[in-house]
Amino acid sequence: MNDTSSIRSTIRIAIVEDHRDLRESWRQIIDDAPSFECLECFANAEDALREIPLYKPDVVLMDINLPGMSGIECTRLLRGIIPKLQVLILTVYEDTERIFEALEVGASGYLLKRTSPEQLLQAIIEVRDGGSPMTSEVARKVVQSFRKPARSSAAEEAKLTPREEEILKLLAQGYVTKEISDKLGISYFTSQTHLKNIYEKLHVRSRTEAVLKYLA
């Protein structure tokens, strides 16, 4: 179902989602995939905040609209307790305000709940590896929130190679790493290497920061 060539070890995942059917569907997708393990599921932020630090997952799948405390506030508090925790937001909301709220409190990626199982697993890999996956609809929302489409002087001064510029442009258009690999006819590993070089040259740590610097 997914490209497991980039998986170095089992990815341990926790789920925070109040809808039981969806929660169990995600659990099944994760547990059925090689090198993925669902540690536990939580129906609300309060239980997640109490238990997740004990489980120490690599990645948390987080809903925004939870009963009681919101997923955004839960993400902020969890990141305060576990700074290296990677949180991937999964929600039906695609309005710009919620997207930026989630990213500002430390979420590593933002996907819509209609994301396919293959895209979900690939996004989990990207988050574990330091990326910031976003579905194309969400990425377009981020892009449209800026008024200046030209590359910033910082990006120009980074002296990106033609291939790196091409990949950065695709990132800004909302493509994830696997889609970039397929579109350019290069391996997933090669795409990751280019992304690492881009991040280093732009002095950023994630896809989101790279796109923001490209569009600023």
Which helix (H) or strand (E) segment is 34 a member of? none
Q: What average pLDDT score do residues 170-183 get?
A: 86
The residues of the chain that CATH labels 3.40.50.2300 are 4-141
Which helix (H) or strand (E) segment is 132 a member of? none
User: Which of 28-42, 77-91, 103-117 is predicted least confidently?
Assistant: 103-117
The pLDDT tens digits of the residues spanning 129-146 come to 888 888 776 776 666 665
Q: What average pLDDT score do residues 42-68 get?
A: 96
Question: Considering the domain 147-215 in this protein, what is its CATH number?
Answer: 1.10.10.10
Q: Which two tokens stand for residue 209?
A: 């920061």
For the 4-141 domain, the top CATH level (class) is alpha beta
Which segments of 119-169 are extended strands (E)?
none
The predicted structure's pLDDT at residue 158: 74
* pTM assigned to the model: 0.65
Which helix (H) or strand (E) segment is 95 a member of? none
The residues of the chain that CATH labels 1.10.10.10 are 147-215
Torsion of CA 62, 9, 35, 131, to 10 degrees: 40
Q: Which two tokens stand for residue 96?
A: 């710009």
Distances from the Cα of 120 to the Cα of 52, 55, 88, 94, 123, angstroms: 20, 21, 10, 17, 5
